[in-house]
Amino acid sequence: MSLRGQLGVAESAGALVFGTPQETADGSVIVTAARVGWLRGTARPLGVFVVKDGQATWTPAVDAGRIALLGETIGLVAATLGLLAIVRRPPWPDLSR
């Protein structure tokens, strides 16, 4: 038995999943793409294919929440490192002598 079977994860976990093609009023065909998660079995959107006049284009999905969390984490780490640098060695000269 595979590790996925022991954990109760579907065999399709980690695979690409494509949605049903939808035709718009202007004749474009839109196909969504997602990746199935490993543990929870949920699908995370990757983007859409748009086919118009025989030309296919890829439009990626942007997770603004993940980008914001990354920015906040980087800011917190930078502030922590700056504080540690000041606490361990102040930038001003020692005037107590």
Asked if residue 14 lies in contact with residue 29, where contact means CB atoms within 8 angstroms, the answer is no
Residue 89: its pLDDT value, please?
A: 73
Residue 57: its pLDDT value, please?
A: 92
Residue 5 has pLDDT above 80, yes or no: no
Q: Which residues pair with 35 in a beta bridge?
A: 16, 44
The structure tokens 């999905």 sit at 61
Quick one: 76 exposed, middle or buried, by C-beta within 10 A (0-12, 13-18, 19+)?
exposed
Residue 44 has pLDDT above 80, yes or no: yes
Give the chain's domain count. 1
Residue 7: its pLDDT value, please?
A: 45
What confidence tens digit (pLDDT) does each residue in 18-39 have? 889 999 999 999 999 988 877 7
* Banded pLDDT at 72 (limits 50, 70, 90): very high
Alpha-helical segments (H) within the chain: 3-7, 64-88
95 found inside a domain: no
Q: Residue 57 belongs to what domain range?
A: 3-88
60 found inside a domain: yes
Asked if residue 58 lies in contact with residue 45, where contact means CB atoms within 8 angstroms, the answer is no
